[in-house]
Amino acid sequence: MKIEEYKAANSLTNDDLISIVRPLFPKFSRSAISMVSRGVYGVVLAPKAVRALAKAHPVKKENRTKGNRLTVRLDDRTYHRLQDYCKATHQTIQGGVEQIIINELNLLT
């Protein structure tokens, strides 16, 4: 388990992790979290601790057919042109951007 990814996915702090794991492992602390997250000390969470974390905050499976995310910033003029294009072609922004990318990539091959 990658503890930093787990914390980010569940919006948890180190104190949240400690409150979940400490009842099972009384000496679990911030320094232990640090050693686990760095991965250079050979310290990992015990299976019992991983199960406790998974029970407290189950890992959410992404249910997406398109799992890759792309983020783009546009100036106002370009964004309005994109909106006009999508309205004219009766597409969502997602569909319009995807179609533009596919068309451009097809021109390259």
Whole-number pLDDT of residue 68? 87
Burial (CB < 10 A; 0-12, 13-18, 19+), residue 49, is buried
Contact status, residue 24 vs residue 48, Cβ threshold 8 Å: yes
What the block records as the tokens of 21 is 């794991």
Whole-number pLDDT of residue 64? 81
| Longest Cα–Cα distance in the chain | 63
- CA pair distance 67, 9, nearest whole angstrom: 16
Whole-number pLDDT of residue 10? 87
What is the pTM for the complete model shown?
Answer: 0.53
Measured at the CA of 53, the angle between CA 39 and CA 23, to 5 degrees, comes to 100
* Segment-wise mean pLDDT, segments of 10 residues, the chain, 109 residues: 85 93 95 92 93 86 82 95 95 94 89
Whole-number pLDDT of residue 1? 67
Whole-number pLDDT of residue 2? 85
